[in-house]
Amino acid sequence: MDWKIFATTFATIFLAELGDKTQLATMSLAATTQSRVSVFAGAALALLAASAAGVIAGALIGRSFPEKWIHRAAGVAFIAGGVWMLVRAR
């Protein structure tokens, strides 16, 4: 296992998930039930499944396209998302 990649991935995902709608939904569910273990298990399994889908998709895309084009496409997608949010905010 590459511990540097593990630590970078953990830190990135952990910080990205803090305060997002997933965490807020999990907090809401935990606040309205006595079965907090079930909420934790469900949330953990959902994040695990979403992460697995991301890893599989990333591996397939990485085999099919050059890294340079993946970076460019990601950049265009982020810019387009930012422009869409700006336009929508009006």
- Domain membership of residue 55 (yes or no) is yes
> Rounded to whole angstroms, how far apart are CA atoms 90 and 86?
7
The answer to whether residue 83 is domain-embedded is no
Instruction: Identify whether 76 is part of a domain.
Output: no
Is the pLDDT score of 18 beyond 90? no
Question: Is 35 a member of any domain?
Answer: yes
| 8 Å CB contact between 29 and 39 | yes
Contact 26, 39 (CB under 8 A): yes
Structural domain contains residue 26:
yes
**What value does the CA radius of gyration of the chain take, rounded to a whole number of Å?**
17
With a cut of 90, say whether residue 67 has pLDDT above it: yes
Residue 33 covered by a domain: yes
CA–CA distance, 3 with 31 (Å, rounded to integer) = 35
Tell me how many domains the chain contains: 1
Residues 6+ away with beta carbon under 8 Å from 13: 51
Domain membership of residue 35 as a residue range: 3-65
Classify residue 24: in a domain, yes or no: yes
Q: Give residue-wise pLDDT tens across range 24-53.
A: 999 999 999 999 999 999 999 999 999 999
- pLDDT band at residue 19 using 50, 70 and 90 as cut-offs: confident
